[in-house]
Amino acid sequence: MDLGTYGYPKQGGKRTEPYYDVPEGVDITGRYDEEFAKILTKDALKFVAELQREFRNHIRYALECRKEAKRRYNEGALPGFDPATRYIREGEWLCAPVPPALADRKVEITGPVERKMVINALNSGAKVFMADFEDALSPSWENLMRGQVNLKDAVAGTITFNDKARNKVYKLNDQTAKLFVRPRGWHLPEAHIFIDGEPATGCLVDFGLYFYHNHAPFRRTQGAGFGPFFYLPKMEHSREAKIWNNVFERAEKMVGIERGSIRATVLIETLPAVFQMNEILYELRDHSVGLNCGRWDYIFSYVKTFQAHPDRLLPDRVLVGMTQHFMKSYSDLLIRTCHRHGVHAMGGMAAQIPIRDDPAANEAALELVRKDKLREVKAGHDGTWAAHPGLIPACMEVFNNNMGNAANQIKTAKRNDAENITEEDLLQVPRGVRTMDGLRLNTRVGIQYVAAWLTGSGSVPLYNLMEDAATAEISRVQNWQWIKYGVELDGDGLGVRVSKELFGRVVEEEMARIESEVGKDKFKKGMYKEACKIFKRQCTAPTLDDFLTLDAYNYIVIHHPKGSAKL
Ligand SMILES: CC(=O)SCCNC(=O)CCNC(=O)[C@H](O)C(C)(C)COP(=O)(O)OP(=O)(O)OC[C@H]1O[C@@H](n2cnc3c(N)ncnc32)[C@H](O)[C@@H]1OP(=O)(O)O
Ligand SMILES: O=CC(=O)O
Ligand SMILES: [Mg+2]
């Protein structure tokens, strides 16, 4: 993604509304709001602009390298361990000691930075709350800026929310989860903030604004001298981790706090990154608090990496679970790698959520979550993710029962047996059938997710599962792959092959089903037709789009004072 893609909008004369007090070289085209102005202060923007200016060329280079790697995979190469960094993989070294405040991370809740959810998550009883500017958030100007306001109030301990319809006031409990923040990935621009005439890098805006406003109160009240804490998404190579490490060092220096104060957990959620886990930890060794199995993006990345490899097609999405050999190998190797270097190996997200109106189905969903968590804790993971507060007691029980009083398993679950996991293990093609139902479900879920995202919701319940940008990506790329290679569907004995024509009919039928499920009124008012257009185009494009959200972002960028600008 060229950061210059989102063109600088012509302001066309004098601004007629209040405007932010910006430093030299910075322009803001997002809506003015008094609350946002408390985040977008001149000094905070100066801080973000300094990061942008120092790191933009490094980021550009890293994104160019992604393109080059893609070119090689598309020519038939396979990802693998880099012989040049064998010394890092085989060397004996440790990451900086885990801050005491983070020793116990048995259950972490995640969720978008929406005000009520931030309070609910912090009060949920989880050890950690990962506040999400990424997979769970649609990155509209309103969501991002309100998210920053919410986090600032949360760190200050003053956040409240008044639900007038339900006559309920939300505020923080005495005991709250420790806050981690997940900025966007390197590829996403922030098209409402221009620095030297170019859109800012989304993650530097998310990180920079949050860090600038919260580092001092956070270290005082939450981190016992450490922090703030971050989750870092979607990296493909250790050179990207090195940029983050340099960003952290620069930020620490700029505000005068000790090097190593900031701590981050990296999601291993791209296929190339699984071969770089040691190298990623090594780059971030003074700032690391472990790795996490971002299983959903990892599956998406498997398809993306092998987009030109018709011998590596995925079965139905529901069949690609953690017990498939390549997924189990990834989780085992991640645990071994983290524990060898003295940091947490975090598990991932089970997609089931509570089912309120059906006790039997609810119990079955809970049982699937328990089973997933039991597998994780027995394998040696130190903690796991929960999508919903209702799942926390079950997840906590499984981890407590299997870990006793220990805060983590870093020293006790070394998993030396995973040392011999090979490139073949990590790349093994997942097994299972490809069905018409799978194609239909991908389509129905993908379109509904994009419709939600376009209207401001980045995580939604669909058919009793949590769906977010990562899970929706699987639906999209799997459809693309099946259409591209005309896969034969299993199950009907007729040898039906997926084609654009078949997919076109499926889209029509699934749109009709969505309309009947959500009701005519919601269907009309929602953005289902636009979502369908985006999803259909991406599933049938001759070359695979890198990210669903890059194209869709065009639809949610709104420049002020010129009104909506389709870029
Ligand atoms: C692949 C990945 O990256 S995983 C990480 C990113 N994804 C996520 O973080 C998804 C997080 N989960 C969610 O967003 C939500 O749970 C959803 C959208 C899946 C379901 O949300 P809802 O339909 O609102 O759930 P439901 O109606 O059962 O919620 C009940 C209550 O729990 C709250 N709640 C639900 N999930 C969360 C959460 N993750 N964090 C905080 N509060 C939550 C709701 O706000 C609601 O509160 P209230 O009773 O005070 O009104
Ligand atoms: O971010 C988490 C994932 O599974 O993707
Ligand atoms: Mg992810």
At 200-216, the pLDDT tens digits run 999 999 999 999 999 99
Strand order of the β-sheet with 26-28 is 26-28, 189-195, 198-201
- pLDDT (0 to 100) of residue 2: 42
Q: Which of 230, 291, 295 to mutate to test the pocket of ligand 2 (most atoms within 8 A of CB)?
A: 295
Q: Which ligand places an atom closest to the C-alpha of 388?
A: 1
Q: For ligand 2, what atom is nearest to the CA of residue 292?
A: 2
Residue 348: half-sphere exposure toward Cβ, Cα within 13 Å: 26
Q: For ligand 1, what atom is nearest to the CA of residue 296?
A: 1
- pLDDT (0 to 100) of residue 567: 38
Write out residues with Cβ below 6 Å of ligand 2.
135, 267, 269, 294-297, 348-349, 470
- pLDDT (0 to 100) of residue 6: 61
Give CA–CA dist 442/476, Å, rounded: 7
Closest residue CA from atom 3 of ligand 2: 294
* 310 C-beta neighbours (distance < 10 Å), count: 12
- pLDDT (0 to 100) of residue 160: 98
CA of 558 to the centre of ligand 3 (A): 26
**Helix, coil or strand: residue 33:** coil
CA of 388 to the centre of ligand 3 (A): 16
Q: Which two tokens stand for residue 228?
A: 């703030």
Give CA–CA dist 515/160, Å, rounded: 36
Q: Is the pLDDT of residue 175 over 90?
A: yes
- Average pLDDT of the residues in 47-75: 98
In the chain, the N- to C-terminal Cα span, in Å, equals: 14
Main-chain phi, psi angles of 302, to 5 degrees: -60, -45
Higher pLDDT, 565 or 133: 133
CA of 500 to the centre of ligand 1 (A): 35
Closest residue CA from atom 1 of ligand 2: 294
pLDDT band of residue 565 (cuts 50, 70, 90) is very low
DSSP string, 65-78: HHHHHHHHHHTT--
Give CA–CA dist 535/480, Å, rounded: 10
pLDDT digits (tens, 9 = 90+) for 427-451: 999 999 999 999 999 999 999 999 9
Q: Is the pLDDT of residue 47 over 60?
A: yes
Residue 448 identity: Q
- pLDDT (0 to 100) of residue 491: 85
- pLDDT (0 to 100) of residue 5: 54
Indicate the pairing of strand 229-232 with strand 263-268. parallel
Q: Is the pLDDT of residue 358 over 50?
A: yes
Q: Is the pLDDT of residue 14 over 80?
A: no
DSSP state for residue 312 in the 8-state scheme: S
- Average pLDDT of the residues in 26-51: 97
pLDDT digits (tens, 9 = 90+) for 244-255: 999 999 999 999
- pLDDT (0 to 100) of residue 17: 76
347 membership: H or E segment, kind and range? strand 345-349
pLDDT digits (tens, 9 = 90+) for 467-511: 999 999 999 999 999 999 999 999 888 889 999 999 999 999 999
- pLDDT (0 to 100) of residue 361: 97
Q: Which ligand places an atom closest to the C-alpha of 137?
A: 1
Q: Is the pLDDT of residue 137 over 90?
A: yes
Q: Is the pLDDT of residue 404 over 80?
A: yes
CA of 324 to the centre of ligand 2 (A): 17
- Average pLDDT of the residues in 455-465: 98
Residue positions annotated with a catalytic role: 182, 468
- pLDDT (0 to 100) of residue 566: 41
- pLDDT (0 to 100) of residue 564: 40
Q: Is the pLDDT of residue 314 over 90?
A: yes
Write out residues with Cβ below 6 Å of ligand 1.
109-111, 116-117, 120-121, 132, 135-136, 296, 349, 353-354, 387-389, 459-461, 466, 468, 470
Nearest to 138 by CA among 73, 53, 228, 202: 202
Q: Is the pLDDT of residue 10 over 70?
A: no
Nearest to 29 by CA among 6, 53, 9: 9
Closest residue CA from atom 2 of ligand 2: 294
Q: Decide if 62 contacts 243 (C-beta within 8 A).
A: yes
Q: Angle between the 141-156 and 115-122 helix axes, to the nearest 10 degrees?
A: 40
- pLDDT (0 to 100) of residue 560: 86
370 membership: H or E segment, kind and range? helix 359-379
The pTM assigned to this predicted structure is: 0.97
Core vs surface per residue 88-101: b (16+ CB within 10 A) or e: bbeeeeebbebbeb
Give CA–CA dist 276/290, Å, rounded: 13
pLDDT digits (tens, 9 = 90+) for 222-279: 999 999 999 999 999 999 999 999 999 999 999 999 999 999 999 999 999 999 999 9
pLDDT band of residue 8 (cuts 50, 70, 90) is low
Q: Decide if 8 contacts 14 (C-beta within 8 A).
A: no
Q: Is the pLDDT of residue 12 over 60?
A: no
Q: For ligand 1, what atom is nearest to the CA of residue 470?
A: 1
Q: What is the mean pLDDT of the chain?
A: 95
Q: For ligand 2, what atom is nearest to the CA of residue 385?
A: 2
- pLDDT (0 to 100) of residue 563: 46
Q: Which of 388, 392, 549 to mutate to test the pocket of ligand 1 (most atoms within 8 A of CB)?
A: 388
pLDDT digits (tens, 9 = 90+) for 184-194: 999 999 999 99
Q: Which ligand places an atom closest to the C-alpha of 299?
A: 2
- Average pLDDT of the residues in 511-535: 98
CA of 135 to the centre of ligand 2 (A): 7
pLDDT digits (tens, 9 = 90+) for 322-342: 999 999 999 999 999 999 999
